[in-house]
Each structure stands twice: as structure tokens, then as C-alpha cells.
Amino acid sequence: MSLLQVESLDIRHGQFRAIKGLSVSVTQGEVVALIGANGSGKTTLLRCIAGAARATAGTVHFKGEDITALPAQARVARGLSLVPEGRRLFPDMSVTENLMLGATCDRPGDWSVERVLATFPNLVKRRHALAGALSGGEQQATAIGRALMANPDLLILDEVSLGLSPLVVDQVYASLAAVLTSGTTIILVEQDLARAMRVASRAICLLEGSIALDRPMAQAPREAITAAYFGLGTGVRA
């Protein structure tokens, strides 16, 4: 059975149809790279899965349960965590305090503040610093750590490298390596296609709110992903 099942999902922003009858499933242990141009619907889809955006039509099932109408905090309690685009930390709270917020759902698991600090060693000396005083890389590490503190079964990472220098992105991904290979199911939005192809087991490309390509990464050469990204060819699911 799929860990996540999205069926015939429609999402509208006013009259604009951002997601158009989209159906997709994600199985336990997959690392899925969600690829697409700005405005293709990636963030809208992820926010809907996480409960931060409302579906106009369709359903979202997680671990066999219909969660379409559940609020975001109830989805976190069931094991679904989102690292939002732009990090969204509490700037006047310390790194440790931001991390502890992720544990308020009280899900069982191995993630703790100390494990997060071991995973992201750049935070060790900054654990008592205010989140608003952190560098971009430190903020991203804190945001990912906060999501991990909820011991998720599904971790959603939206725009991991947004606004970060290539060196800092390398550092973040080096720290994430253990998470990416831990068996945790991950949906990842990453604009750096080469990096996405290295870390993901599956590629899904969105085009104007629909799936233009959905393949195992081993069967998705760069040329096929690029063609789907730009809407070349049929523009339907491959």
C-alpha cells in the first residue's frame, strides 16, 4: 500500500487552477524529486499535502487514512512534516527552542535535539543563538531539524537550496546524506537538476499543474526531464 496517495486533486487560487486533476502515489522509502518551473504548482501541491493549502477537489490519503480535511497539526501528528520554502522559523526564539517546537506533537522516534545537532554540526555552537541571527545555511539546517524532531514518516523539503550559495548547499546536503539514506520517505523540491538526479530515486516533473513525467530516476535521463520541464513533446505523463 502507498504511504501517500493523491487522487484527482484540484487546487484553485481564485479563478486560477493551480493543480489540475493530479493523481500520484508515493511508497515507503522513496526519495522523490519534484521538478518544475516557477509557477508549475510544486509548492501549492506540497502545501496541500501538508495541510497548509485547501484542495478544491480530490483527496489526499496518508498511510491509508483520508486526511484531506485534516488541519496541518493533525497531519504532523500522523507523521507528515513539511520544511516550507523560506524556512519560516521564529526569529526571536533560539535554535534549540525552534527545534523543540517540532517535538510538540510527541510522536515516538529517535530524533532529539542532540541528534539534530550531530546531523547538522554547524548548529552546535549556535544552539542558543536567535534564529533571526543565523546565516541562510544555519536557518535551513534548523528548519530541517525542526521537521525531523516530529519523527516523520514522510518528510517534505521545499526548495532546500533557495537563496543559499553553492558551498552552503553542499554543506546542507552533506549533512542530509544520512537522512536521505535512512529509509525515511522524502519528497524534495530542488531546482538544481543535477543534484536532484544524484539524491532521488524517482523524478516527477510538473507542468502547469499537471504531471508531465513520472519515472524512476534510473529511467529518466536529463534530456527527458528537460523536455518535460519545458513542455516539449506530448506534455502528458510519461
3-state SS track over 187-218: EEECCCHHHHHHHCCEEEEEECCEEEEEEEHH
CA atoms within 13 A on the CB side of 125: 2
> Under DSSP, is residue 181 helix (H, G, I), strand (E, B) or coil?
coil
- Whether 159 maps to a domain, the answer reads yes
- Whether 27 maps to a domain, the answer reads yes
d(CA 94, CA 212): 42
Cell of 64: 491509508
- Whether 222 maps to a domain, the answer reads yes
Closest by Cα among 115, 140, 121 to 190: 140
pLDDT for 233? 66
Q: Give the total number of structural domains in the chain.
A: 1
Cell of 140: 535551513
Query: Which distant-in-sequence residues (6+ apart) come within 8 Å of 48 by Cβ?
Result: 9, 11, 19, 54, 55, 60
- Whether 235 maps to a domain, the answer reads no
d(CA 96, CA 57): 39
Closest by Cα among 211, 21, 72 to 228: 211
- Whether 197 maps to a domain, the answer reads yes
Mean pLDDT of the chain: 92
> For the ranges 54-58, 132-136, 165-169, 186-190, which has the lowest average pLDDT?
165-169
Predicted TM-score (pTM) of this structure: 0.91
Which domain range does residue 79 map to? 4-229
- Whether 162 maps to a domain, the answer reads yes
- Whether 215 maps to a domain, the answer reads yes
Q: Given the C-alpha cell 501541491, which residue does it identify?
A: 45
- Whether 234 maps to a domain, the answer reads no
**Percentage of residues in the chain having pLDDT higher than 70:** 97
> Under DSSP, is residue 48 helix (H, G, I), strand (E, B) or coil?
helix
114-173 confidence digits (pLDDT tens): 999 999 999 999 999 999 999 999 999 999 999 999 999 999 999 888 878 888 888 888
Q: Given the C-alpha cell 518544475, which residue does it identify?
A: 36
In this model, does residue 35 exceed pLDDT 70? yes
Q: What is the CATH number of the domain that holds 203?
A: 3.40.50.300
| Residues in a beta bridge with 203 | 33, 215
